Structures are given as structure tokens and as C-alpha cells.
Amino acid sequence: MAALGWLTPRRRSATARSVLAGEASAEAARKSSQEQEELDELAAAAAPDEPEEPAEPEFPVAGDTKAAAFFDLDNTVMQGAAIFHFGRGLYKRKFFERQELFRFAWQQAWFRLAGVEDPEHMQDARDSALSIVKGHRVAELMSIGEEIYDEYMAERIWPGTRALAQAHLDAGQKVWLVTAAPVEIATVIARRLGLTGALGTVAESIGGVYTGKLVGEPLHGPAKAEAVRALSAAEGLDLARCAAYSDSHNDIPMLSLVGHPYAINPDAKLRKHARERDWRLRDYRTGRKAAKVGIPAAAGVGALAGGAAAAIALHRRRH
């Protein structure tokens, strides 16, 4: 479960780690996209399952190959945290014990509520994730990811955000997920949605087996912006003509890179920032859920708590 991050060399500066993580994620995303090119073209040509969101008159511009769209995943494309749903699936398959699930849920909830990264706390989280996936094969996690998508994630995709992504695809533009989740699970989600590919946290592997090390750092905050910058340069994109979508103020660096930033289901800080800069806002939550926006990532915390309870109940029924 690489999305919590891994132990990274302390001698690197934060900026250097962000650049390394971004470049590694961009390289991995392009590779997976090329491998799926024929399937992606078929998916882009297919009609969307849900009604399209009314498009802005001037955007996206059909046939503009210098433009692309970048979508955050958690609470933007999908309700809740992808890594926690993935963790529920791994717990179900006995990758780790119940006490690890409690610990993982607490670490995620604390981070989302505090809104800051405490170095010692994050280091502990990285060590936990390291112990779970080290020694497992990449192909194994990819296969399990396909199953977990069907079990926990497919029904949590926001139809409104999905329609926005489809509008870009219909305009002939590439659409990328950008997430701190492991690039493997992010790639599964992107493929299942018919998107171009995914930028995600890259874990080191040798001979197809995870070493327990991270390439750079988790793709979070500034690292996402570096990934988008690196991919755009490699793809020959014009960032001023691109769009980015996110729910979190942590993604302001990524949103600020593009000419068309969107705040989707925004937290309080991003909503304020977006209004000050006249960015477009979309909120697909119902009244009760939207009211929780005053607590950072409240919907994500709810998913964590609910997922933990479900997994623990499952454990008790089995025993």
C-alpha cells in the first residue's frame, strides 16, 4: 500500500524529492498509457454512461491537442480515499491483521483532520505501508486492484466528475488521474474509467517485486505539480490550455499551473482560494455531505471510519 508513502533519504531536500517523485510518476504514467493506447482510443470514442455535464461554451476546445485534463482522485473523481478502499481489500485477503487496520485508519484520519504532515507521524505511516507490500509482486497487486475496484470503488465514482472527464475525451484531449495513491491502483482506476492514464506514487520494484523503497516521495501537494509539469513537457502540452480538477487545498500548486482550474467538492480552504481567484467551482455532494466542508476532508474521514467498521465486522463474523 504505497500511497501512505515510504522511507525516503533524509539527505534530499523536500524540493528535490518532489521533483524526483513527479518525474518518476510522469515516466510511469506515459509507459502505462502507451501500453493501453488502442484500448484508450476505443474508450474515448464510446458514448458516456451518464448524461454529460453542461459544458462551458469555450471549454474544452474540440481538437486542441495541446490541451489535456488532470483530475485528482480522492473526493474529486471518487467518494472517499482510494487507498483506504484498497486497504479494505487487502485486509479481506489477509495481507495484514486487524490491529494494522486500526492503526492505518487512525493515521489517515489524523492527517486529514490536522491538514499537516507531522514528520514522525508520516514516517510511522511509511514504515507500516512498507511492511505490507515489501516482497509482493507488482503483477499481484495489479490483479488484486482490479478485483477491489469492482468490490469497493466502482459504485463510488462521482457521475458529475466522470462527465467532465468524458467531455475532455470527447474533445479529443487526454485525461490523467493525479493522485498520491500507488500508481498501480491509480492505473487500474484510470483504465476502468476509460481515461488516458494515471500519475501516482511510484514504489521501487526489482524484477517485478517491491523492494519496500519509494522513488522520491508520495505524490502529494507540490509533487503533483511537478508530475504534471514533467508530463506536460514530455507530451508537448500547453499548460495555459490545460485543466485541473481537485477537492483539496493541498492541490493548489497543481491547480495554479493550468489555465483552467476547477474546485470540485472543495474543502473550506480551497473554496475560499477559488472564490478569491474566480476559479470555477462544482459541488456534487448532497446537502448534508456538502455541509461537512467546514471540516477538512470530512467525507474522506467518514469513509475511513465506515471502512474500518466494515472490515472489523467482517473479521468478527469470520471468527
Catalytic residue among 40, 72, 247, 267: 72
Please give the grid coordinates belonging to residue 308: 474500518
| Nine cell digits for residue 273 | 482560494
Cell of 179: 493522485
- Choosing from 40, 74, 247, 267, the catalytic residue is 74
Residue 124 catalytic? no
Distance CA 297, CA 249 (A): 10
Q: Is 72 a catalytic residue?
A: yes
CB-CB contact of 76 with 261 (8 Å)? no
The residue type at 71: F
68-72/197-201 β-pairing: unpaired
DSSP 22-82: HHHHHHHHHHHHHHTHHHHHHHHHSPPSSPPPPPBTTBSPTT-TT-EEEEE-BTTTBSS-H
Alpha helices (H) along the chain = 14-35, 37-45, 82-92, 98-114, 119-133, 138-148, 159-170, 183-192, 222-235, 252-257, 268-276, 287-290, 298-318
> How many whole angstroms separate alpha carbon 7 and alpha carbon 207?
20
Cα(1)–Cα(184) distance, rounded to whole angstroms?
Answer: 10
Q: Which residues are catalytic?
A: 72, 74
